[in-house]
Amino acid sequence: MRVETIRAAGGRPAHIRHDDLISAKGVSVVMAKQLVLQNIDLSVPKGSFVSLIGPSGCGKSTLLKVLAGLVNPTSGSVSIAGLSPVEAARKRMIGLVFQDANLLPWKNAVDNASMLLSIADKSLSRAELRGRGQEMLELVGLGDSAHKRPHELSGGMRQRVAIARALALDPAVLLMDEPFGALDAITRDAMGQSLLEIWQRTGKTIVLVTHSIDEAIHLSRHVHVLGIKPGRITESLDIGLPYPRDLTVTEDPEFVRLVVQLRTMLRASHQPGDAS
Amino acid sequence: MSDQPVTNFSESRPESRFASSWGAATGSWLPAVILLLATIVVWEAVVRIFAISAFIIPAPSEIAQSLVAQWGTLMQATLVTAGEILFGFLVSVVVGIAIALVIVRFDWLGRALYPLVVLFQNVPKVALAPIFILWFGYGLAPKIGLILVIAFFPVTLSMLAGMQSVDRSLLSLMNSVGASRTQILFRIRVPHSLPNLMAGTKIAATLSVIGAIVGEFAGASDGLGYVIQFASTQLDTALVFAALLLVSVLGIAFYYAAEILERIVVPWAPKFSQS
């Protein structure tokens, strides 16, 4: 029986489905004697757009760091295409974007876009790096700002460069921690729409941590709601709205219904759970 | 994947404040210049009205006369002191940077070195001057040594602060692609620390002037510090003030040289461009 199960799964542990790029199983994280994440099961299908939403302190950023290999889970396992997160990161499979663009102020946009790639792949020449950086800037809509320094760019433009920098690695998955959290509402909408177009053009798998209900529904295919004390996935919601989506989707009755549903789920997630 | 860019929403660029800075700068100097001129006039008037003896407080006109009369000697002394300051300053910057790099790059060495550096900072270094004369004689070496012990610390401290204030998520990015400690040090930490380092360098430039003068007080046969000591034993207070004036000019010159260097080295520093 056991042998057959393993064969049936193609030699992989049975819980990993073939179309899952990321699979977290029973992940718990203890930091400073606090249970930050409890028994997280998460699977992210290849090519999908998944959002993690939840109140402050629910550990959604920590979960993203676990997926990125920046935090080791206290128990449980994470696999990214069969590799550990650290192995996957070394193979340039993970692109990271944080709330702060963290560009190097002494480098221009194109050199910032190729900065991580230059470390990940030492065989590339300066010209190849520049070419790749320029290509990625064009993808994020900043093709004509290649020679501008970060202080000459607006907050939204800087975040575009940060996305270009992550995409330059040609990662399988883009992990984004509140990438638009510091932007104004209008820029934020525009960035979300751009991200959708980049996603559809490149076919990357995206995991987005967000505070925004609208953003989560506008962009993602699956939304996971995290609750506090301890951080755990309380509910999951599939967003059935068809792609390609644009901002008019926010006027769709189905969108409005999903907002109400997600808001109800989020309200429930603010209640501390049973830590046992 | 097509070559077309995705939607490019126009986002407003932050405005540069560079344009008006020159006018603002000259405007801000004007009150200081007026106050300085007024002080000189009042000084001259008080000395003349109360007939204060020239060896207690010389009038500005007497200082100017002394400056002209002793111009050759004073210029020779200025050149010697300027040489000491420049050399001592450069040595301080190089040593200060080296210590900071060692502390950041090698954990255990840093843990050993840093407390000692701070401890050493509490030694009154002016008091080291006689010892340096004893060890190195009356030439250039004791002055360089004294400037070094006085001026390296702000360089080390400011560079350390800059290197250690790199955003953690930037370090996460670097770690995720497997960057080595040395790569993070030279590609991120060192350039990131340059604005801080330049601030420390400006302090070091000012301290270098003090170091050179103290070194010359303790024992020298040339330089502005020597002129000040010699003139005061002769009760030639006007010459003392003339030499002091030149010391101040040297100090200002070195400070602004460091500031020009800063603009060249770190054009991206927040001071010159809003970020």
Q: Copy the structure tokens of residue A112.
A: 């910032």
CA A196 vs. chain centroid, Å, equals 12
Q: What dihedral angle (degrees, nearest 10) is formed by the CA atoms of B101, B103, B106, B110?
A: 170
Q: What whole-number distance in Å separates Cα of residue B64 and Cα of residue A127?
A: 62
pLDDT of residue A274: 58
pLDDT of residue A273: 67
Better-scored residue on pLDDT, B6 or A240? A240
Interval A135-153: pLDDT, tens: 999 999 898 999 999 999 9
Average pLDDT over chain B, rounded to whole? 86
Supply angle C-alpha A8, A10, A12, rounded to 5. 105
Contact B88, B208 (CB under 8 A): yes
pLDDT of residue B5: 46
pLDDT band with cut points at 50, 70 and 90 for residue B23: low
Interval B85-102: pLDDT, tens: 999 999 999 999 999 999
Please indicate whether, in this complex, the C-beta atoms of B177 and A169 are within 8 angstroms of each other.
yes
Give the CA count within 13 Å in the CB-facing half-sphere of B179.
Answer: 21
**What does the DSSP 8-state code read for residue A6?**
H
Contacts of B167 in chain A (CB under 8 A): 100, 102
The three-class DSSP label of residue A142 is coil
pTM of the model: 0.79
Which residues between 90 and 119 in chain A have a beta carbon less than 8 angstroms from any beta carbon of chain B?
Answer: 90, 92, 94, 96, 98, 100, 102, 104-106, 115-116, 119
Counting every residue written for chain B, the total comes to: 275
B273, containing H or E segment: none
- Average pLDDT score over residue span B17-35: 70
Q: Which of A64, A90, A98 is the mutation pick for testing B, counting most B CBs within 10 A?
A: A98
B15 at A interface, C-beta within 8 A: no
Rg (CA), chain B: 25
Please indicate whether, in this complex, the C-beta atoms of A119 and B187 are within 8 angstroms of each other.
yes
Of B131, B263, B105, B92, nearest to B188 by C-alpha is B105
pLDDT of residue B20: 52
The CATH code belonging to domain B62-265 is 1.10.3720.10
Which residues between 208 and 267 in chain B have a beta carbon less than 8 angstroms from any beta carbon of chain A?
Answer: 266
> Which segment of A173-177, B36-40, B128-132 scores lowest on mean pLDDT?
B128-132
Regions of chain A where pLDDT drops below 70: 1-18, 273-276
pLDDT of residue A8: 39
Q: Is the peptide bond before B31 cis (omega within 30 degrees of 0)?
A: no
Domain boundaries, chain A: 19-93+171-276, 99-169
Contact B215, B230 (CB under 8 A): no
Please indicate whether, in this complex, the C-beta atoms of B9 and A70 are within 8 angstroms of each other.
no
Strands A49-53 and A222-227: parallel
Q: Copy the structure tokens of residue A256.
A: 């409005």
pLDDT of residue A2: 39
A-B Cβ pairs (cutoff 8 Å, strict): 99
- Average pLDDT score over residue span B106-131: 88
Please indicate whether, in this complex, the C-beta atoms of A90 and B177 are within 8 angstroms of each other.
yes
Which residues between 117 and 176 in chain A have a beta carbon less than 8 angstroms from any beta carbon of chain B?
Answer: 119-120, 138-143, 149-157, 169
Task: Name which of A89, A98, A105 is nearest B169 (Cβ-Cβ).
Answer: A98
Task: Name which of A150, A187, A202 is nearest B1 (Cβ-Cβ).
Answer: A202
B5 at A interface, C-beta within 8 A: yes
pLDDT of residue B56: 87
pLDDT of residue A229: 79
Contact B142, B218 (CB under 8 A): yes
**What does the DSSP 8-state code read for residue B165?**
T
Please indicate whether, in this complex, the C-beta atoms of B178 and A139 are within 8 angstroms of each other.
no
pLDDT of residue B2: 42
Question: Is B45's pLDDT higher than 80?
Answer: yes
Q: Looking at the domain A19-93+171-276, which fold is it?
A: Rossmann fold (3.40.50)
Q: What whole-number distance in Å separates Cα of residue B93 and Cα of residue B113?
A: 18
Please indicate whether, in this complex, the C-beta atoms of B174 and A89 are within 8 angstroms of each other.
no
Question: Is B150's pLDDT higher than 80?
Answer: yes
Q: What whole-number distance in Å separates Cα of residue B101 and Cα of residue B110?
A: 9
pLDDT of residue B245: 94
Q: What whole-number distance in Å separates Cα of residue B114 and Cα of residue B102?
A: 10
pLDDT of residue A10: 41
Interval B175-233: pLDDT, tens: 988 899 999 999 999 999 999 999 999 999 999 999 999 999 888 788 999 999 999 99
Interval B62-90: pLDDT, tens: 999 999 999 999 999 999 999 999 999 99
Burial class (CB in 10 A: 0-12, 13-18, 19+), B84: buried
> Which segment of A54-68, A196-210, B132-146, B260-274 scores lowest on mean pLDDT?
B260-274
ipTM over 0.90: no
User: Which percentage of chain B shows pLDDT scores above 90?
Assistant: 60
Domain boundaries, chain B: 22-52, 62-265
